[in-house]
């Protein structure tokens, strides 16, 4: 579940030096313990900030800070697993409500600098409890350093325990960064795309663009937005004592210099067509009665590559609305109806089809549907 205040990400730059600048968090001493609700401290000469970030409970939460991360040493809060967690203790590189790490400024997602940003983390987990261990990577339409981001929140769940689930609904499965992930999408004033690893892990390393490109392809993010922070930590609902980030890094590589032109004329580059996923959707009324009807929608892959996921949208005439959808996840906004694959039927080979159905109110109709695939 999601909230207004979260944070995490640390940073160690390789192939490029960490820039030094002003940091509002106080420097950490050895064995620093933070129990204040939003207490924070800088580590590694301000390259990272560790924060307690307890916002979902008034019960005590304390974290022990090391030079490379932190550990939850006391977590007394208990939150219902169908709601928000007790907080998001974390370590981060970037800006969180004006509290910025040394030398950081937001990075445009369409820049060469963003393409070179990677991150890695190692974590330890206690037995039992209700929690997730996750990255929280934030993007905003502007180069924001303060306040709530309004673009996209990319969550990467390395592991989880108990009953908690991400924001929104599960829309598919994807293979990225050496693992298989269930993908969840939702909106809570900003877009939230969560990638939940189907087999939990205690460490991983990946380019930040890996997950962001996938979110762009799903229509939940934009290449023109700015990366504002990379965070890693935990969302505990209960039993979080012992959760620990043992190491965290964000790396950036230098853009290679342009090559000197060769005296020999190189052969011309031949443009090759990009094979893009595409689909169509066609509605068929299956039964009608006074004041309602049922219908099937057939989705067909019209591209030359297999789809990973699809979404279908259409506009209802006045007085009509879907009241039940099966074999798809449905959302309604005004007269606009959206249906996304149910996960198990998102992957379609070239020319393959799948069908979902729904029950609607009003007189039977066959609106024109638009289908997009990734």
Q: Active site includes 153? A: yes
Q: How far apart are CA 297 and CA 360, in angstroms?
A: 13
Task: Choose, from 19, 75, 185, 235, the residue flagged as catalytic.
Answer: 235
Strands 169-176 and 279-289: unpaired
Q: Active site includes 75? A: no
Using CB atoms within 10 Å of the CB of residue 34, give its burial: 0 to 12 exposed, 13 to 18 middle, 19+ buried: buried
3-state percent breakdown (helix, strand, coil) of the chain, nearest 5: 5, 45, 50
Cα Rg, the chain, nearest whole Å: 23
Edge-to-edge strands of the sheet including 70-75? 32-34, 61-65, 70-75, 244-252, 117-124, 203-207
Query: How would you classify residue 217: left for phi > 0, otherwise alpha for psi between -120 and 50, otherwise beta?
Result: alpha
In the chain, what is the greatest distance between 2 CA atoms, to the nearest angstrom?
79
Using CB atoms within 10 Å of the CB of residue 353, give its burial: 0 to 12 exposed, 13 to 18 middle, 19+ buried: middle
Task: Answer whether 61's CB lies under 8 Å from 86's CB.
Answer: yes
Task: Write the DSSP symbol of residue 120.
Answer: E
Q: Which two tokens stand for residue 154?
A: 């990319």
- Please report, for residues 168, 170, 172, 300, the alpha-carbon distance to residue 310 in angstroms, rounded to integers and kept in the order given: 17, 13, 9, 10
- Report which of 46, 227, 224 is spatially closest to residue 135, judged by C-alpha positions: 227
Annotated active-site positions, please? 153, 235
């Amino acid at each position: 579940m999601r909230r207004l205040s979260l944070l995490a990400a640390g940073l160690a730059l390789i192939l490029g030096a960490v820039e030094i600048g002003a940091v509002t968090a106080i420097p950490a001493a050895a064995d620093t313990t933070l129990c204040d609700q939003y207490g924070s401290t800088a580590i590694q000469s301000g390259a990272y900030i560790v924060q307690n970030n307890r916002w979902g409970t008034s019960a005590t939460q304390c974290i022990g800070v090391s030079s490379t991360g932190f550990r939850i040493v006391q977590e007394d809060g208990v939150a219902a697993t169908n709601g928000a967690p007790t907080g998001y203790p974390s370590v981060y590189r970037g800006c969180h409500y004006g509290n910025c790490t040394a030398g950081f400024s937001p990075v445009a997602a369409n820049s060469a600098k963003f393409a070179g940003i990677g991150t890695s983390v190692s974590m330890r987990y206690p037995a039992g409890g209700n929690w997730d261990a996750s990255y929280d990577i934030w993007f905003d339409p502007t180069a924001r350093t303060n306040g709530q981001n309004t673009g996209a929140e990319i969550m990467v769940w390395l592991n989880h325990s108990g009953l908690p689930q991400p924001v929104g609904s599960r829309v598919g499965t994807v293979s990225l960064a050496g693992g298989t992930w269930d993908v969840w999408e939702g909106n809570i004033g900003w877009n939230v795309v969560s990638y939940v690893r189907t087999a939990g892990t205690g460490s991983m390393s990946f380019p930040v663009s890996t997950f962001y490109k996938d979110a762009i392809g799903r229509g939940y993010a934009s290449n023109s937005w700015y990366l504002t922070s990379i965070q890693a930590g935990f969302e505990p609902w209960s039993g979080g004592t012992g959760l620990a980030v043992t190491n965290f890094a964000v790396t950036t590589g230098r853009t290679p210099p342009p090559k000197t032109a060769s005296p020999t004329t190189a052969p011309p580059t031949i443009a090759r067509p990009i094979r893009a996923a595409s689909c169509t959707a066609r509605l068929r009324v299956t039964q009608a009665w006074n004041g309602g009807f049922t219908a099937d929608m057939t989705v067909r892959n019209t591209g030359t590559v297999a789809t990973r996921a699809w979404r279908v949208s259409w506009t209802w005439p006045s007085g009509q609305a879907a009241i039940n959808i099966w074999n798809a996840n449905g959302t309604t906004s005004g007269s606009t109806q959206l249906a996304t694959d149910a996960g198990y039927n998102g992957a379609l080979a070239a020319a393959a089809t799948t069908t979902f159905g729904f029950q609607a109110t009003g007189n039977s109709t066959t609106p024109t549907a638009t289908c997009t695939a990734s």
